[in-house]
Chains A and B, each alone.
Chain A
């Protein structure tokens, strides 16, 4: 049986020349992926709608949640100061990490100073962002992901494909094979049996762990606490057994008051998975109090920037930092439903990923993501904090044009086309030319089967109807 202590060849987050086109094309033809994925996300999206209907006014509550997050971002300096003071008052230590390398170093330093080596890690997107597990393993520590989905990702050397459900791209047969390969046990695809096998293995790790690594959904400034949601109990284990607890959280996760936490809890799991509340909501921060027999002896909170202040600076894009990582937009997105999370080539996938990945990692590196959207608005409708995702995708497209990231030819065509629309006479000429060409291609069937140049993308997949013999403009002229 292989252990997780040897350094693995985990793929690092890919930046630079990620080939979205190939990845998304391959994924959209993967019938098995689509079937597995859609069963999960459609159920969760449907659950969201049902559960939100239980709230007295879910639309107004989402507006309020958005306002709370926006207010916090607009005053982030004040609330960060407050948070730090309150965490330290409770006996916790606070660190600010400017980027991924710095965050890894801080955590490695804490680990070496406290002489820990057995890490139990609970689910945290930001730890994926900085590739933390890999760094801890390279430093010789035994690191195990304790969230079931993340555990399966770890032992199969995969990457998570969804913010909330990391293995939404795998079916139970695939999971069974992964377990059989890892544990050397016979293949059994019963989810209960698989879960119990993981439970026994991880329980042993919990008992022996000396270092707990967690993320956090919210940081409450006035109380100096981290608030996290989960269903399994692995995160509770992280704040129970190990003597050292480190929480790594993005600076944008703050909210002002405990009262705001009530609003967020009411919206978060309803939006994410269609549950009224997660099984556990853990509120923690600070070491155990004198006389307690469990809980950490030391608590360290690492607050990470890693590009967030750049986004904060933009009054336009600041709103994207409201995200509470619920995954509702992924579940609602017609594109995500067809290509899954891996095709985005980034830790953050789906509509929010299409926004923040270019913002964090550079638009030049990810210019396909804002363009691969039909702007249908399902994400905006689903977002519990009302981030206007379609609007920002269009803004990124505007940035692509303004920074010449698309080709000069493409820009020229659009500008010519726009110019031709500025006068009714030019419009009529262009329309006439199009009509003649398309009707010629359609011959007598009324349908065009093949188009050249940009049009080829259309006819690759579907036919195009031929234009009418006379446009409405022309027909109107015959009206008395």
Chain B
């Protein structure tokens, strides 16, 4: 039975890691989903909500609800944006009788990519193998806490062959991105991401799996500044590789 899935690309993935969007689309299609991309989509409103601009965030939330309400499922490659829709839309639309119901419905069918693979599609990746052996470590992105996702990504990753998994110390400690926090408080954010990068270096893994564009920009940016060769990838990119899917073109 085909599932009608709308891809919610999120603004950072759209601009910086579009190949993750291609990977997600192709992987979902592989698992029998009909993937559509509502082209009117822009932003879920998270940066504005988090910084206290709630009326502005609500306008964007209304747009999101309008753009996505027609679909069975909404899937996003970013945990923080998913958490925004699932957790915070409730606060934005509280007591708004015109929008409350529509917002609840859309929130309830919005999933983070790993969550969707694991809980809805219930995939088994054990027949997949990466083209070559890779030592891989994993960063638990923070906003997955809010939506109750923890080890699912690690479990799925380790189902695949040629994955030499190295546990990351302090894996669930924040990477220090926090949106505008990274720019407003560079010393603190810098100290936090330095800690994360040191833990990554200690694993001697050549790849870090990180499933949020913001975290990835932050960690990869620090790795590059420090001259580290570690690659930072979304799990979708690795699964696509194992499936032999080309993420550079359709």
A residues neighboring B (CB under 8 Å): 21, 24-25, 28-29, 34, 42, 334-335, 337-339, 371-378, 380-381, 391, 394, 396-402, 411, 414-415, 417-419, 421-424, 427, 431, 434-435, 447, 454-458, 460-465, 467-468, 470-473, 475-480
Contact = CB atoms under 8 A, between A and B. Distances in A.
Nearest to A458: B183
Contacts of B59: 418, 422
Interface string B20-34: 011000000000000
A472 B18 CA distance: 5
Given A373-B181, A471-B14, A463 B43 contact: no
A338 B146 CA distance: 23
A460 B193 CA distance: 13
B53 to A, nearest CB: 5
B101 interface: no
Contacts of B18: 468, 470-472, 475
Contacts of B11: 421, 427, 431
Closest 10 pairs (CB-CB, A-B):
A374-B178, A397-B52, A461-B190, A457-B183, A418-B56, A376-B174, A462-B221, A472-B18, A398-B52, A376-B142
A463 B146 contact: no
Given A374-B177, A400-B52, A468 B17 contact: yes
A38 to B, nearest CB: 9
Contact of A374 (B22, B54, B57, B176): B176
B142 A339 contact: no
Interface of B: 9, 11, 13-19, 21-22, 37, 39-43, 45, 47-54, 56-57, 59-60, 63, 91, 142-143, 145-146, 170, 172-174, 176-193, 195, 217-218, 220-222, 224-225, 249-250
A401 B220 CA distance: 32
B178 A399 contact: no
A424 B142 contact: no
B39 A476 contact: yes
A408 to B, nearest CB: 14
Given A335-B188, A418-B48, A447-B224, A431 B218 contact: no
Contact of A457 (B9, B143, B182): B182
B53 A468 contact: no
B42 A427 contact: yes
B187 A28 contact: yes
B15 A431 contact: yes
A414 B48 contact: yes
Nearest to A390: B146
A24 B185 contact: yes
A110 to B, nearest CB: 43
Contacts of A373: 178, 181
A457 B182 CA distance: 7
Contacts of B22: 472, 475
A109 to B, nearest CB: 44
B192 A431 contact: no
A417 B195 CA distance: 32
A42 B187 CA distance: 21
A213 B180 CA distance: 45
The DSSP consensus for interface residues of chain A is helix
Given A28-B187, A372-B181, A418-B59, A467 B42 contact: no
Contacts of A447: 221, 224
Contacts of B187: 24-25, 28-29, 461
A401 B178 contact: no
B217 A398 contact: no
Contact of A372 (B57, B143, B188): B188
Contacts of A417: 47-48
A35 to B, nearest CB: 11
Nearest to B38: A424
Nearest to A475: B18
Given A25-B187, A397-B51, 11 more contacts: A338-B188, A376-B174, A377-B142, A414-B56, A417-B48, A421-B11, A431-B14, A463-B221, A463-B225, A468-B16, A475-B21
16 contacts: A29-B191, A373-B178, A374-B178, A375-B178, A376-B174, A378-B145, A417-B47, A421-B43, A431-B14, A447-B224, A454-B180, A462-B218, A462-B225, A463-B224, A468-B15, A472-B37
A446 to B, nearest CB: 9
B24 to A, nearest CB: 10
Contacts of A21: 185
A374 B179 CA distance: 7
Contacts of B48: 414, 417-418
A377 B192 contact: no
A374 B192 contact: yes
Nearest to B49: A394
Nearest to A398: B52
A371 B53 contact: no
Given A335-B192, A418-B53, A431-B14, A423 B42 contact: yes
A415 B39 CA distance: 23
Nearest to A479: B250
Contacts of B142: 374-378
A368 to B, nearest CB: 8
Q: Please indicate which of the listed interface residues B14, B52, B221 has the most CB atoms of chain A within 10 Å of its own CB.
A: B52
B176 A372 contact: no
Given A334-B174, A375-B50, A422-B59, A457 B15 contact: no
Contacts of A378: 142, 145, 172-174
A477 B14 CA distance: 13
Contacts of B14: 431, 471-473
Contacts of A376: 142-143, 145, 174, 178
Given A28-B190, A397-B51, A424 B41 contact: yes
Given A401-B53, A478-B250, A422 B63 contact: yes
Contacts of B182: 374, 457-458, 461
Contacts of A478: 249-250
